[in-house]
Structure 1
Amino acid sequence: MTPSVQTPARIRIGSAPDSWGVWFPDDPGQVPWQRFLDEVAEAGYAWIELGPYGYLPTDPARLTDETRARGLSVSAGTVFTGLHHGEAVWDRTWAHVADIAALTRAMGAGHLVVIPSFWRDDKTGEVLEDRTLTPAQWRDLTTQTERLSREVRERFGLRVVVHPHADTHIDTEENVNRFLDATDPDLVSLCLDTGHYAYCGGDSVRLIETYGERIGYLHLKQVDPAVLAEVVADEVPFGPAVARGVMCEPPRGVPALEPVLDAARALDVDLFAIVEQDMYPCPPDRPLPIARRTREFLRSCGRPGAPL
């Protein structure tokens, strides 16, 4: 009997509208969606995320035609949620999630990235609520996230990956660990964004090594330490911090991505690793050269027989 040959785990590299300065479905300062698709393919990426719902065409047939024509496939959709508000926001949340999940499934993707709502406005800095959750809010956050994950899996066949994010309640190492320890590993996985985690003081390699079974997806991103020190000292909201250049082009910032990718490879599971260099607002001619250089840098992080 011939022994079976095990296929090595893969890290599949992609990019996202975020790396082209796209934060909103419709903004005259953003590049048109056709240009994003043209340039992300030209830069050498084969995988993309949907970005803000409505930026790319929401008709699956049209979006399939547009992506296939450029050799692109979709890895995930993204939703923002305020699940720490509990049952009161469920119906509104599900209506929002269901539309995006349906498009995500129709595009053949397997993941839904869930980002918690901000505790302060990412443009004005207005404090919207306390930055620290009460015990009751933590229970709502964890139980409602489990509910969302179960519903998304059962109805759409997608895996929810929760994205720790600056200026949200799932941000620091302490809060990420608390969230993971309080949720069912079978239902809730993590989208580890290396830039956001560093922004909030976390160590991505240690998180992967400690909670490896919970890492379901990666966003590759770096922060500029000098700019980060300024925005932390000045208590700058995330949006203006991005405008200052807190997220920077690899390999100029932290964390170093080679050790992160080595730790991810050691998990021996297939993972998407999506480049997201927050750049809003940005000149329309800026993203493509950065995307090309970043793709080449990530290729240099690969190993013989397992290129990135």
Structure 2
Amino acid sequence: MIALANAPVSYGVFELGASAGGRLPGPEELLGLVASAGYTGIDSGPIGMFGRGERLRENLRRHGLALAGGWVDLPFADDAAFTAALPGYRDALAFFAEAAPVNPGLPPKPTLACSGSAQRRANPGGGPGLGLRPAEWDRYAANVEHAAALAGEHGLEVTFHHHACTFVETPEEIDELLDRTTVGLTLDTGHLILGGGDPLDGLARWGSRINHLHLKDARKSVLDGVVRGKGDLRTVWAGKAFVPLGTGDLDVPAVVEAVLTSGYAGWLEVEQDTIPDPADPPGTAQADQVHNREVLRRWFP
């Protein structure tokens, strides 16, 4: 079974926030927008935004939504920093466990991601000399496995999100992570393009390890320009690199057909990362997410 979710980041609700003067929806409005657009799941956004415990479950159920997952970045490359981050991570795991009873058959997946480094943030797309050395990979992989084991203590299965400006960004870095760990992979079509990969190749290459999907359409020319200009992630999102499905360079029909052929089961999360601008027409984000849901009705009525 494949279930469709959307994410707060599609409405600009994430750590970077809006451009000056841009409006962001609050938690209650956001739940209503995602539900009315036709999705049955939602990403957590900032942990706790939709409440905790019974309040969280009530808020989700009132809108007919389940929690699909949520971003948790950890400094896997630094043992001391990783250990220091564990109390916050344990609290995030408790949050996901609190949401799991809403849809026991499809519980949320804590979405692990790398905190990266100043050097990686300054070099989107990666490149020679920017990756981890073998001994650093040993430490990194051990910390990823430890994070996965802690999630298991809460009855949760993690997924690892390859992401721009981190130590797991390029196809080769994804290969290295999967070779050294047992974790499942979130395949994110937009970030894979930015990292120099191809989503169709990624689906074929890592299909047996993919346990979560983020579907993004993207304008490759914008992403290539960010890599050439060494722009940061705010440049990606504010520059409207991620666009409504079918209006960018992603072959959406081919990707969805490949997902269906692969036998994948789980959450397919539509993400259109954006930073709202005051110049955007009112209702732009919601119109885009309604459009994205309509595009997917060809496969998911």
Answer whether TM exceeds 0.5 for this pair: yes
Q: Are residue 148 (structure 1) and residue 139 (structure 2) matched? A: no
Any conservation in 1 of the 2:44–2:70 contact (CA below 8 Å)?
yes
Partner of 2:193: 198
Partner of 2:227: 232
Counterpart residue identity of residue 35, structure 1: E
Partner of 2:27: 33
Q: Are residue 212 (structure 1) and residue 203 (structure 2) matched? A: no
Any conservation in 2 of the 1:15–1:276 contact (CA below 8 Å)?
yes
Deviations for 1:156-213, whole angstroms, at most 9, x for unmatched residues? Answer: 11111000001111011111111111213xxx01011111001111112212212211
Partner of 1:4: none
Match of 1:176 among 159, 174, 177: 174
Any conservation in 2 of the 1:12–1:272 contact (CA below 8 Å)?
yes
Following TM superposition, by how much is the alpha carbon of 1:117 offset from its aligned partner in structure 2, in angstroms?
0.8
Following TM superposition, by how much is the alpha carbon of 1:12 offset from its aligned partner in structure 2, in angstroms?
1.0
Following TM superposition, by how much is the alpha carbon of 1:235 offset from its aligned partner in structure 2, in angstroms?
1.3
Q: Are residue 166 (structure 1) and residue 158 (structure 2) matched? A: no
Q: Are residue 75 (structure 1) and residue 74 (structure 2) matched? A: no
Counterpart residue identity of residue 14, structure 1: A
Partner of 1:6: none
Q: Are residue 14 (structure 1) and residue 13 (structure 2) matched? A: no
Aligned pair in 2 of structure 1 residues 282, 190: CA closer, same or farther (>3 Å)?
Answer: farther
Structure 2 counterparts to residues 99-138 of structure 1, below 5 A: 99-108=91-100, 109-120=107-118, 131-138=130-137
Match of 2:48 among 51, 54, 59: 54
Any conservation in 2 of the 1:21–1:282 contact (CA below 8 Å)?
no
Deviations for 1:94-147, whole angstroms, at most 9, x for unmatched residues? Answer: 21111111111111124110111132399x9599xx832222221111111011
Any conservation in 2 of the 1:161–1:216 contact (CA below 8 Å)?
yes
| Structure-2-length-normalised TM-score | 0.88
Deviations for 1:5-49, whole angstroms, at most 9, x for unmatched residues? Answer: xxxxx2211101111111139889532111111111111111111
Partner of 1:264: 259
Aligned pair in 2 of structure 1 residues 126, 165: CA closer, same or farther (>3 Å)?
Answer: closer
Counterpart residue identity of residue 99, structure 2: M
Structure 2: distance between partners of 1:52 and 1:121: 25
Counterpart residue identity of residue 41, structure 1: A
Following TM superposition, by how much is the alpha carbon of 1:245 offset from its aligned partner in structure 2, in angstroms?
1.1
Counterpart residue identity of residue 267, structure 2: F
| Structure-1-length-normalised TM-score | 0.86
Unaligned 5+ segments in structure 2 are 101-106
Any conservation in 2 of the 1:25–1:54 contact (CA below 8 Å)?
no
Any conservation in 2 of the 1:16–1:49 contact (CA below 8 Å)?
yes
Aligned pair in 2 of structure 1 residues 236, 90: CA closer, same or farther (>3 Å)?
Answer: closer
Q: Are residue 97 (structure 1) and residue 89 (structure 2) matched? A: yes
Q: Are residue 250 (structure 1) and residue 276 (structure 2) matched? A: no
Between the two proteins, the alignment pairs up a number of residues equal to: 285
Q: Which runs of 4+ in 1 moved over 6 A?
A: 25-28
Unaligned 5+ segments in structure 1 are 1-9
Match of 1:277 among 260, 266, 272: 272
Q: Are residue 45 (structure 1) and residue 36 (structure 2) matched? A: no
Match of 2:184 among 184, 189, 202: 189
Any conservation in 1 of the 2:194–2:224 contact (CA below 8 Å)?
no
- Greater Cα offset, 263-272 or 20-29: 20-29
The CA RMSD over aligned residues, in Å, is 2.3
Aligned pair in 2 of structure 1 residues 175, 236: CA closer, same or farther (>3 Å)?
Answer: same
